[in-house]
Amino acid sequence: MTSAREQGGGILKFLATIDRRIVYFVLFVLVVGPLISPIGMPISVAPDTVQYHNAIAQLGPDDVVLLHLGTEFSGWNELSAGAMASAKMVVEREAKLVIIVGHPEATGIPPLVYEGLKGVMEAKGYKYREDTLNLGYMFPNEPAVAAAAADFHGLVRTDYLGNSIEGTFLNKVKTAADWALIIDINTGIWNQALINHWRLPFGTKIVAHIIGVMVSGAKANVDAGLYEGSLGSLRGGAELEYMIKAPGPGLQAMDAFTLAHYSLLIFIVLGNIGYFGYTRPARVKERTAVK
């Protein structure tokens, strides 16, 4: 009986040495295809998402909510769906929405948030300075986060345009205790600082929408009572969109996610068949020949 190597490998050699560009091409097709033409594959909602949703659902009119954008643009791609769905929930409950930025790259994100909320804000009669404010980049480091918690107006005097915030609804916010909720859209930028200096001393409620690699840490914070809830990655964003019946980029991306993950599973199986059928026997053969 001849080995796969002696036979020239055939299909097993092809599987073991498959050109990675083929893998990338298949992934490209499977990701772009559903984005252009969504399939609408089914989705289930995790208990974590329900908990996150319920924390925001408790908001009422005149509650002041801080949307903290502790993300870069790379993270925004993963978090935008959940962030927009969260902000939409806030506006639907007629709470006051304040956007603050924790990373220089995120200074370009608030206009995208307002553009996405245009319809619901018009429907609810939202006006800038009366119901919402964009404070821009205000958290460059942990001392700034701590300072804003202890004396908000000592740190923040103007909105992102340089207009004074005196006389706005933020007059009633003195310390971190005066915020109804922090929605922390985060890739690891000042998330711990918010817990350390807002949650711990003032008891400010925080919900976190985080990227995939931060999910396990955020769940530990939920269990420890430091977060009211956490929403994981684009998948969580899609689940929140589903819960509030506002389909958007999250649900649209789930088709691509599902197909891409299935294809990766298939490639892993095929790669292992190639490894055990061709690569490994070939290595054994070479080692014997040296002796």
107 near another protein (CB under 8 A): yes
List Cβ neighbours of 258 (8 Å cut-off, separation of 6 or more): 41
List Cβ neighbours of 214 (8 Å cut-off, separation of 6 or more): 186, 187, 188, 191
Q: How far apart are CA 134 and CA 162, in angstroms?
A: 11
Q: Which of 40, 61, 119, 154 binds another protein (CB under 8 A)?
A: 154
30 near another protein (CB under 8 A): no
Size of the site for another protein (CB under 8 A): 34
Q: How far apart are CA 7 and CA 119, in angstroms?
A: 65
Identify whether the C-beta of residue 266 lies closer than 8 Å to the C-beta of residue 22: no
21 near another protein (CB under 8 A): yes
Report the site for another protein in 194-213 (rule: CB under 8 A): 195-197, 199-201
**Closer by beta carbon to another protein, 115 or else 130:** 115
158 near another protein (CB under 8 A): yes
20 near another protein (CB under 8 A): yes
84 near another protein (CB under 8 A): no
Q: Which stretch binds another protein (CB under 8 A): 5-13, 31-39, 191-199, 233-241?
A: 191-199
CA distances from 63 to 90, 181, 205, 232 (A): 9, 8, 12, 25
Identify whether the C-beta of residue 160 lies closer than 8 Å to the C-beta of residue 135: yes
From residue 120 to residue 139, the character string flagging contacts with another protein as x (rule: CB under 8 A) and all else as - is ----------------xxx-
List Cβ neighbours of 108 (8 Å cut-off, separation of 6 or more): 73
Q: How far apart are CA 264 and CA 257, in angstroms?
A: 10
104 near another protein (CB under 8 A): yes
Identify whether the C-beta of residue 193 lies closer than 8 Å to the C-beta of residue 145: yes
Q: Which stretch binds another protein (CB under 8 A): 51-59, 111-119, 189-197, 237-245?
A: 189-197
**Closer by beta carbon to another protein, 54 or else 158:** 158
Question: Which one-letter amino acid corresponds to residue 83?
Answer: A
17 near another protein (CB under 8 A): no
In the DSSP assignment, the letter for residue 38 is -
CB of 159 to another protein, least distance (A): 9
CB of 285 to another protein, least distance (A): 28
Q: Which stretch binds another protein (CB under 8 A): 51-59, 62-70, 149-157, 172-180?
A: 149-157
Rg of the chain (C-alpha set): 25
Q: CA angle, corner 230, sides to 253 and 86, nearest 5? A: 60
Residues binding another protein (CB under 8 A): 20-21, 24, 104-105, 107, 136-138, 140-144, 146, 154-158, 162, 192-193, 195-197, 199-201, 220, 223-226
